[in-house]
Copies of this chain bind each other. A is one copy, B any other.
């Protein structure tokens, strides 16, 4: 009886976490509420790609467990992959901390979706900290074009994900010149 209960609980958990993108009728993405229970890929502080001065914010990146496991096996992202970029403010000298930076509240999230049923294979959706749905970025937005041109694997910045870059290199799926 205890064993059967465990099996039922596990099955329910698996069904509840299919982690595929869901859209509203007007083409917005529904917020993936459980992304903090996905797989962490990396965190950066104040990263910039243009000539502007960096904003001191942390960027945490998470991916669905399903897509992560597929990537470890193949070096590629399956259809319906979702990555979440969570932007958090950076704090210092709170509690017993005397130097460096730690994370505080969420400022925004962006979700990067691979969905071959959409006009673009990869699409970013932007969410304010508490929004339940997010609008797609324009096809000519900086995020869309920069990721398309510079992603090490598909449109994704695997060059900055230290556990995945060696996998992509070993599987031969990183674009030529990726370091």
Query: If the complex has contacts A43-B58, A105-B162, are A50 and B11 also in contact, measured as CB distance less than 8 A?
Result: no
Does A172 interact with chain B (Cβ within 8 Å)?
A: no
Contact present for A102 and B42 (CB under 8 Å) = yes
Give the number of residues in A that approach B within 8 Å (Cβ atoms).
Answer: 50
Q: Which residue of B lies closest to A43 (CB)?
A: B43
Contacts of A50 in B (CB 8 A): 98
Query: If the complex has contacts A11-B6, A62-B40, are A160 and B49 also in contact, measured as CB distance less than 8 A?
Result: no
Does A150 interact with chain B (Cβ within 8 Å)?
A: yes
Contact present for A159 and B95 (CB under 8 Å) = yes
Within 8 A of B (CB), among A21-39: 36-37, 39
| In the bound complex, CA of A146 to CA of B68 (Å) | 36
| In the bound complex, CA of A50 to CA of B100 (Å) | 11
Does A99 interact with chain B (Cβ within 8 Å)?
A: yes
Provide the A6-17 mask, 1 if CB < 8 A to any CB of B, else 0: 110011001000
Q: How many Å from the CB of A33 to the closest CB on chain B?
A: 12
Q: Which residue of B lies closest to A46 (CB)?
A: B100
Q: Which A residues form the contact surface with B (CB < 8 A)?
A: 6-7, 10-11, 14, 36-37, 39-40, 42-51, 53-54, 58, 60, 62, 65, 68, 88, 94-106, 146, 150, 152, 157, 159-160, 162-163, 178-179
Q: List 8 A-B contacts (CB under 8 A).
A: A7-B11, A36-B163, A40-B62, A44-B103, A54-B99, A95-B159, A95-B160, A103-B160
